[in-house]
Chains A and B, each alone.
Chain A
């Protein structure tokens, strides 16, 4: 009985040591992951804004800025789809066979993943009793199958992001889109009040120039376009 007690104590002490080591290691790696996720998010929103520094999703940003009331749904859709697509694509890329594919075929695979996710989401929207289903189905295509959502997994791959970084990058893509759209919308409202704009610039030309100048302002962060 004494021997059993000794064995139990040894086992327990070893178990506690192992758990502490693993927990401590996890804590450190979790901190690193959180930091890297924060960096990736900061990159997406400010340092190299996906819309202004990269040009991705500019059409969607300008057209959403034109219509009040759609920003929240658009940003949420972009965040969700970017994040999920990126995570799945990153997981797929860990397979040795897929990791060695040429970039264009890898991009086609990523596109297929995005398409599959979209069809799944749209199919669920059709089948489930969602509020405002018609609105959801009407807008889901534009906000889920666009350049910004498709660019996020490709950029994550090119930038060598980890899964956590890719997840953060995807989640903050919606935030970057929202920031860009809000700025463009506020600018469009300002331009609408400005009666001195010459007729040849009033409307879309002034909006495009305004967006370009906003993009110039964001270039001050890194001084380089978002390329991959």
Chain B
């Protein structure tokens, strides 16, 4: 559940219920580099000196402020693929503007624009800085303009701080200089190579995580360290973990960002999920439990059979119509209908597949103290249509939220 909270804090903006943190604090807890692992290339490639780090910081700050503001005002109304083009175009504009400004400034002052020339070859790549795009997609779209600017300032401060720090360390150790002036004779060549930048980033990330862990021990922070876990989103591992939880009688994880699981209320589908037929070719793993959180059944839905030719199809017996179960709000915790993203865009596999072993013994259904609604084909079909509607909503949401 700590991880769920961390995800929620990461993915959704703060509400009035949560304490409002200072934007500089957010620069640490929501650092684009050290927490979200975004925008690594400019740091590894360009931030090899203090000047380079400063230039990266300034340009990225300009990009973030401009992109987040425009996203909050205008770009969020566009589809996701067009927004990505917008970020890139704005980035190119900022780069060209920075170069033009630098050239103009150097002409005006009569000095040579060394910093731009040093980093200039990597300058164009800043237009494709993933930190800007990810930040805009995950934050600015859901925030009003003022909050978006605040978030951009936090991200820019966090990114810039890391860029300048890494540039400083790399120039000191790698070139033995400080701001271009010789400082020491020691020159560790590997530090200014890309692998040196990655190692330094890893060390900084570890230091930051240690700070978060200490603060969490004291109770002054929650979920920040868990947000840096950065694990593989392995569909099979998540499925197996949830199956294990079900086997142990526990409710599966309620993280809405995990897996392809579709969690349903009691009575939404029969004991054997194999009887639940989906008309859309999606691999859905269905689970249900009763109001007390006791698992009832789980398994993969199977694809709907192809409609048999009319001449050959035998007349089907119409099952007796059953009353739809009343939806009662479960008093205990547990998601009623949690939509999750189907991660694997593969054709539907049969119910029992090698990768998806069914639990050998499905849990027994709850004793029939209350009248159990009889699940009929019509019931199933009605619930399938509701599922389809929810799936379509989820897809639309994901289309607007490329991650």
State if A and B touch, Cβ cutoff 8 Å: yes
Q: State whether the Cβ of A138 lies closer than 8 Å to any Cβ in chain B.
A: yes
B324 to chain A, nearest CB (A): 31
Residues of A within 8 A of B127 (CB): 111, 150
Nearest B-chain residue to A137, judged by Cβ: B81
Residues of B within 8 A of A134 (CB): 395-396, 398-399
Q: State whether the Cβ of A176 lies closer than 8 Å to any Cβ in chain B.
A: no
Separation of A158 and B123 alpha carbons in the complex (Å): 14
Q: State whether the Cβ of A11 lies closer than 8 Å to any Cβ in chain B.
A: no
Chain-B contact segment, one of A36-44, A165-173, A208-216: A208-216
Q: State whether the Cβ of A8 lies closer than 8 Å to any Cβ in chain B.
A: no
Nearest A-chain residue to B93, judged by Cβ: A108
Q: State whether the Cβ of B150 lies closer than 8 Å to any Cβ in chain A.
A: no
B30 to chain A, nearest CB (A): 13
Nearest B-chain residue to A151, judged by Cβ: B125
Evaluate contact between B41 and A57: CB separation under 8 angstroms. Answer: yes
Evaluate contact between A203 and B231: CB separation under 8 angstroms. Answer: yes
Q: Which of B76-93 contact A (CB under 8 A)?
A: 79-85, 87-89, 92
Nearest A-chain residue to B344, judged by Cβ: A69
Nearest B-chain residue to A204, judged by Cβ: B230
The tally of residues in B whose CB lies under 8 Å from a CB in A reads 70
Q: State whether the Cβ of A139 lies closer than 8 Å to any Cβ in chain B.
A: yes
Assuming A111-B88, A192-B232, is B80 touching A135 (CB within 8 A)? no
Chain-B contact segment, one of A18-26, A27-35, A47-55, A93-101: A47-55
Q: State whether the Cβ of B121 lies closer than 8 Å to any Cβ in chain A.
A: yes
Evaluate contact between A142 and B402: CB separation under 8 angstroms. Answer: yes
Q: State whether the Cβ of B273 lies closer than 8 Å to any Cβ in chain A.
A: no
Residues of A within 8 A of B205 (CB): 204-205, 208
Nearest B-chain residue to A60, judged by Cβ: B130
Separation of A223 and B42 alpha carbons in the complex (Å): 20
Interface string of B384-403 (1 = CB under 8 A from A): 00000000000110110010
Separation of A212 and B79 alpha carbons in the complex (Å): 36
Nearest A-chain residue to B403, judged by Cβ: A138
Interface bracket on A: 35 or more
Q: State whether the Cβ of A67 lies closer than 8 Å to any Cβ in chain B.
A: yes
Nearest B-chain residue to A110, judged by Cβ: B124
Residues of B within 8 A of A104 (CB): 95-96, 99, 120, 123-124
Separation of A190 and B193 alpha carbons in the complex (Å): 25
Evaluate contact between B95 and A108: CB separation under 8 angstroms. Answer: yes
Separation of A103 and B116 alpha carbons in the complex (Å): 12
Evaluate contact between B41 and A58: CB separation under 8 angstroms. Answer: yes
Separation of A139 and B125 alpha carbons in the complex (Å): 20
Majority-rule SS of A interface residues: helix
Assuming A108-B96, A111-B127, A132-B345, is B228 touching A122 (CB within 8 A)? no
Interface string of B25-52 (1 = CB under 8 A from A): 0000000001101111110110000000
Assuming A69-B344, A228-B121, is B233 touching A56 (CB within 8 A)? no
Nearest A-chain residue to B195, judged by Cβ: A215
Nearest A-chain residue to B204, judged by Cβ: A205
Evaluate contact between B125 and A56: CB separation under 8 angstroms. Answer: yes
Residues of A within 8 A of B210 (CB): 200
B391 to chain A, nearest CB (A): 11
Evaluate contact between B399 and A138: CB separation under 8 angstroms. Answer: yes
Evaluate contact between A66 and B399: CB separation under 8 angstroms. Answer: no
Nearest B-chain residue to A112, judged by Cβ: B92
Evaluate contact between B402 and A141: CB separation under 8 angstroms. Answer: yes
Separation of A135 and B398 alpha carbons in the complex (Å): 9
Separation of A138 and B37 alpha carbons in the complex (Å): 20
A37 to chain B, nearest CB (A): 25
Evaluate contact between B198 and A58: CB separation under 8 angstroms. Answer: yes
Assuming A55-B44, A104-B120, A145-B128, is B232 touching A68 (CB within 8 A)? yes
| 7 other A-B residue contacts (CB within 8 Å) besides A55-B44, A188-B231 | A58-B198, A67-B232, A145-B133, A147-B42, A199-B209, A203-B209, A226-B194
B residues with a Cβ closer than 8 A to A are 34-35, 37-42, 44-45, 79-85, 87-89, 92, 95-96, 99, 120-121, 123-125, 127-131, 133, 190, 192-199, 201-203, 205-207, 209-210, 213, 225, 228-235, 343-345, 395-396, 398-399, 402
| 22 A/B residue pairs, CB under 8 Å, sorted by A | A56-B125, A59-B40, A59-B41, A66-B230, A66-B233, A69-B235, A69-B343, A107-B123, A108-B92, A122-B82, A140-B81, A147-B130, A185-B232, A189-B234, A200-B213, A204-B202, A204-B209, A209-B202, A215-B193, A216-B190, A219-B190, A219-B193
By Cβ-Cβ distance, the 3 closest A-B pairs, closest first, are A141-B84, A212-B198, A208-B202
